[in-house]
Structure 1
Amino acid sequence: MRRNTSILMLSVGHGCVDVYQGAVASLVPFFVAERAYSYAAVSGVVLAASVLSSVVQPVFGLLTDRWAMPWLLPVSTLLGGLGVAVSGVCEGYVPTLACVAASGLGVAAYHPESARVARLASRGSHSGMSWFSLGGNLGFALAPLLVSAVVSTGFGLRLSPLLVVPAVAGSVLCLPVLRSLRVPGGAGGGSRVPAGSDDRASFVRLSLAVVCRSVVFTGLSTFVSLYAGQRLGGGTAAGTAALFVLYLGGAVGSVLGGRLAGRWDRVAVARWSYLAAAVAVAGLVTVPGPVLYLFVALASIGLYVPFSLQVTLGQDYLPSRVGTASGVTLGLTVSVGGLASPLLGGLADATSLQAALLPLSLMPVLSWLLFRTLPEPRVPAHLAGAREPDPGEGAGQLPVPPRQPGA
C-alpha cells in the first residue's frame, strides 16, 4: 500500500471515530426538545463524554509507549459508535450518561495508538499529521448533518441506533492499513521508539495552552447551536448550520496549520492563531445578525490551526513518551475543557447564554501568552529525514522503526 494511501485511510478512520465526539454535542438540541433537559443537564451529557477520556486516554498512552496495541483501533472505534447509538434509546438520564461515557472511553482508547501509527505513516511530517487531523475534524463537521439526517424525522431519537454505521465502516477500514504498515501487536510484539531528550517544562506549558483552547472550543461546540437558534430565530436548523460551520472551520484550520508550519515554525503559527481566535470569539458573541456564521468559522479556524501542530510539538517535547504525549495533547487536556461546560450551563441558566459565552474570548489570549514562553523543539533523529508527502508519489511499503523493550 502506498504511503499516501495509508495516511488517507488513517485520516478517514479518524473521521469515523471523531464523528462521535461531534455527535454528542449535535444530540444536545434533541435531548432538550424531546426530554426537556436543562442547560445544566445537557452540559452533564457533554461532560460524561469527556470525563473518562480525561482519565483514561493518558493511561492508554502509557500502555502504547510500552507495547504496540494496533487492535485498539477497530475495537475502540466500535465502542465509540455503540455508546452514541444506544444513548438515544436509553430510558432515563443516568443510562444516557453511561452510554455517552462508554462512547468517550472508546474515543479515548483510539487516539494515542492512532497518533503513534499516523506519526510512523507520515514520518513525522507536519503536513501528514495535519491530514490525519483533518479526518477527525471532518468527522466533527459531518456529525451535525449525520445526526440531523437520522434524528430529525418523525421517529426522533428512536432512530439513533443507525448512528453506529460509521463505526462499523471505520473499524473495517483500518485493518488493511495496519497489515500494510506491519504495525506490531501483542505483549511481545515490540515497544516504543528510541528515546530522546525530554523537555517536560515546555510540555507542561503546552498542555496548559491546550486546556485553555479546549475550554473555549468545548463551550462553543456545546452551546453554539442553541445560541445561533436564539440570536437568528431559526430554531434547530439555524443551530445545526452553526455547528456544521464550527466543525467545518476546524477542518480548514487543520490543513492550513500544516501548510503554515512548512513556512514558519509551529510555535509562531500557533501563537498568532490564538490571537486571531480571541478576536473571532468576541465577535461571535457580540455581533448580531447572520454575520455570526462568519465569526463562528473564523473562531474555529483560529482554534484549529494549532491543533495538529500541538500534537507534534508534544511528541517532540517528549520524544521518549510519544504515546503519553499524544494521550495528553489529544485526550487529557482536550477533555479537561469539558469540565467547564457545566459551569457555563449553570451560568447560562442563571443569566443568559450570551453572558455565559462572553468569557470564552479570554481563553485564547491565555493560550497565546503560554505559547510566548515555548521554544521550537528539534525533530527526533529517526524522523529528521522525513519530507512532505507528494500526492503523486508512488511510495513503497513503509518500514516501521524498531521499538526498544521496556518503558
Structure 2
Amino acid sequence: MRRKTSITLLAVSHACVDIYQGTVAALVPLFVAERAYTYAAVSGIVLAASLLSSVVQPLFGALTDRWAIPWLLPVSTLLSGAGIAVSGLSGEYAFTLLFVALSGIGVAAYHPESARIAREASEGSHTAMAYFSTGGSVGFALAPLMVAGVTALGGLSWTPLMVVPALAGTAMAMPVLRALAQRNSAVGGKPAPVGRDDPTSFMRLTFAVVFRSIAFVGLSTFISLYAQQRMNGNAAAGVAALFVLYLGGVVGSVLGGNAAYRWGRVAVSRWSYAVAAIAIAGVVWAPGPAIYLFLALTSVGLYVPFSLQITLGQDYLPTRVGTASGITLGLTVSIGGLASFPIGALADATSLRTALTPLIVMPVLSWLMFRTLQDPEAPKPDRDRRPSEAAGLSPASVD
C-alpha cells in the first residue's frame, strides 16, 4: 500500500467519524420542530456530545502515547455511528442526551489514535496531514445533507439509517491498520519519539484552538436557525448555511497545508484568524443573502489553521504525540461545545444575533495566542523505512 493510498483511506475514515460531529448540529432544528425543545435544551444536546468527549479525550491520548491501540479506530467509529443512529428513536430528552453523549465518546476515542497513525503513515508531512484533516471537514460538510436526506423519509424516526457511514469508515481503516502492523513488524516496532517537548508553546497553542473551537461550534450549533430567521423562516436556507459553513472547511484545510510550506504554519494561522474575525462579524451583521459569503470566508478562515495546529501540537510535544493529537484534534473541538449552552441561554433571553455577537472576539484571541508562537522544526523519523515497503506502506510522497 502506497503512502498516498493510506492517507486517502484514513481521510475517508476520518470523514465517516466527523460526519457524526456535524450531525449533532444538523439535528438541532429537527429537535426544535418535532419535540419543541428550547434553544437552551438543544444546546444541552450539543453539550452532551461534547462534555464526556472533553473528559475522556486526554485519557485516550495518554493511552495511545503508552501503547499502540489501533483497534480503537474501528470500535470508536462504530460507537460514534450507533449513538447518533438511535438518538432519534426516543422522545425522552434524557435518552437523547445519553445516546448523543455515547457518540461523543466514540469521537473522542477515535481522534488521538487516528492522528498518531496518520502521522506515522505520512512521516510528518504537512500536506498529508492536511488531507487527513480535510477528511474530517468533508464529513462535517456532508452531515446536513445526510440528515436532510434521511429525515425527509420520516423525520427523526429514520435516524438508524445514519449508521451507514460508520460501517464504511470501519471498512476504510482496516487495510491501513493491517499494512502498518506488517510494516512495524518488519522493521522492529513503531518509531521512537524524536525531539524535546515545549509545553509552554503547546499550552499557548491549546488556548488558541479552544478559542477557535468556541467560534466554530457556536456557529455550527445555531447558524441553521439563524439563517432561517434571516431568510424568512425558510428551512432550506438553514440547511444551506450549515453546508456552506462545513464545506468551506474542505477548502481551508487544503489551503492551509500548502500555504504552510511557503510562509510557515504560525504565520498562515495568524492571518487566517484575522480574516475569520472580520468574516464572523459579517455573518452576524451583514444583511440578507450576504450571510452565505461571510459564512464561506469564516469557514476558510477557521479551517486553514486546523491541520497546521495538529502538526504544530505534535511537534511541540514530540514525545507525547497521542496527547497532543487528542488535545488539538479532539479535546479542544469538544470544549467548544461547552460554550453552546450559555450561547443558547443568552439567545432565549435576548436574540440569536445578540448571542452570536461575542463569537467575533474568539478568532481575535486565537490571533493573539499565535503572536506568541514560533514555528518548531519538525522532528524527522530516526529509522529507515525501506525494509517495510514489501510488507506495508511505501514512502511514495503525497506532496
Q: TM-score, normalised by structure 2?
A: 0.94
Aligned residue in 2 for 1:328: 327
Give the whole-Å Cα distance in 1 for the aligned partners of 2:383 and 2:275.
31
- 8 Å CA contact 2:77–2:169 kept in 1: the answer is yes
**Matching residue of 1:130:** 130
State the alpha-carbon separation in 2 of the partners of residues 131 and 335 from structure 1. Answer: 21
2:369 maps to: 370
Kindly state the Cα deviation for residue 198 of structure 1 after the two structures are TM-superposed. Answer: 0.5
Residue 404 of structure 1 corresponds to which residue in structure 2? Answer: none
Is the partner of 2:58 in helix, strand or coil?
helix
Question: How do 1:130-279 and structure 2 match up within 5 A?
Answer: 130-153=130-153, 155-182=154-181, 193-279=192-278
**Counterpart position of 2:46:** 46
Where 1:197 maps in the other structure, the secondary structure is coil
Compute the RMSD of aligned alpha carbons.
Answer: 2.1
Structure 1 counterpart of 2:393, from 382, 398, 405 = 398
Matches of 1:26 and 1:230, distance apart in 2:
16
**1:283 aligned onto 2:277:** no
Q: CA separation in 2, counterparts of 1:337 and 1:3?
A: 33
Look up the match of 1:7. 7
Moved over 3 A (4+): 189-192, 383-386, 394-397
Q: After alignment, is 169-178 or 252-261 more displaced?
A: 169-178
Q: Structure 2 vs 1, CA of residues 374 and 34 (structure 1 numbering), >3 Å: closer, same or farther?
A: same
2:77 matched to which residue of 1? 77
Give the drift of 1:235. 2.3
d(CA) in 2 for partners of 1:234, 1:183: 55
Deviations 1:225-283 (A, max 9, x none): 00000001252210000000000001110001001001111000000000000000000
Counterparts of 2:158 and 2:382, CA distance in 1: 46
Q: Is the 8 A contact 1:3 1:395 kept in 2?
A: no
How far apart are residue 330 of structure 1 and its match?
Answer: 1.3
Name the residue aligned to 2:59.
Answer: 59
Q: How many residues end up aligned between the 2 structures?
A: 390
- SS of equivalent to 1:262: helix
Distance in 1, Cα, partners of 2:284 & 2:139: 25
Determine if contact 2:6/2:393 at 8 Å carries over to the other structure: no
2:106 pairs with 1:106:
yes
Alpha-carbon separation, structure 2, partners of 1:71 and 1:332 = 20
Q: Provide the TM-score with structure 1 as the length reference.
A: 0.92
The verdict on how the C-alpha distance between 1:159 and 1:310 changes in structure 2, with shifts beyond 3 A counting, is same
Separation (CA, whole Å) in 2 of partners of 1:313 and 1:125 = 12
Other structure's SS at 1:305 match: helix
Q: Is the 8 A contact 1:281 1:360 kept in 2?
A: yes
Residue 395 of structure 1, CA deviation: 10
The answer to whether the 8 A contact 1:224-1:242 is kept is yes
Other-structure match for 2:380:
381
Give yes or no for contact 2:3–2:394 (8 Å, CA) kept in 1: no
Q: Write the letter of the residue equivalent to 1:251.
A: V
Deviation (angstroms), 1:383? 7.4
Contact 1:316 1:378 in 2 (8 A): yes
Instruction: Check if 1:90 corresponds to 2:90.
Output: yes
Q: Distance in 2 between matches of 1:3 and 1:97?
A: 39
For 1:295 and 1:396, the matched residues in 2 are separated by 48
CA distance in 1, matches of 2:172, 2:78: 12
* Cα distance between partner residues in 2 of 1:110 and 1:323: 11
Specify the code of the residue in structure 2 equivalent to 1:14.
H
Cα offset for 1:143?
A: 0.3
Shift of residue 53, structure 1, vs aligned partner: 1.3
- Decide which structure has greater helix share: 2
Counterpart secondary structure, 1:193: coil
Residues 210 and 329, structure 1, Cα contact 8 Å, conserved in 2: yes
In structure 2, what residue type is equivalent to 1:312?
T
Residues 1:184 and 1:325: Cα distance change in structure 2 (over 3 Å):
farther
Q: 1:268-314 CA distances to partner (integer Å, 9 max, x unpaired)?
A: 00000000000000001000111110000000100000000000000
Q: Structure 1 residues 363-372 or 189-198, which shifts more?
A: 189-198
Change in Cα spacing, 1:234 to 1:150, as seen in structure 2 (3 Å) is same
Kept in 2, the 8 Å contact 1:18–1:136? The answer is yes
How far apart are the structure 2 equivalents of 1:190 and 1:2? 19
* Contact 1:19/1:143, CA 8 A, preserved across alignment: yes
Distance in 1 separating the partners of 2:79 and 2:92: 21
Partner Cα separation in structure 2 for residue 216 and residue 384 of structure 1: 41
Who is 2:22 aligned against?
A: 22
Q: 1: distance between equivalents of 2:98 and 2:330? A: 19
8 Å CA contact 2:182–2:391 kept in 1: the answer is no
Q: In 2, distance between residues paired with 1:384 and 1:71? A: 25
For the Cα contact (< 8 Å) 1:254–1:305, is it kept in 2?
yes
- Distance in 2 of aligned mates of 1:267 and 1:299: 19
Structure 1 regions of 5+ residues with no counterpart? 387-393, 401-407
**Share of identical aligned residues, percent?**
67
Q: Letter of the aligned partner of 2:249 in structure 1? A: G
* Equivalent residues of 2:191, 2:382 under 8 A apart: no
1:245–1:384 Cα change, 3 Å: farther
| Secondary structure of residue in 2 paired with 1:228 | helix
Give 2:127's aligned amino acid: S
Residue of structure 2 in register with 1:34 after alignment: 34
Segments of structure 2 that go 5 or more residues without pairing to the other structure are none
Q: Deviations over 1:198-229 (max 9, x none)?
A: 00000000000000000000000000000000
Residues 42 and 374 of structure 1: CA distance in aligned 2, closer, same or farther (over 3 Å): same
Distance 1:168 1:231 in 2: 37
Q: 1:384 to 1:251 in 2, by over 3 A?
A: farther
1:192, distance to aligned residue in structure 2 (A): 7.0
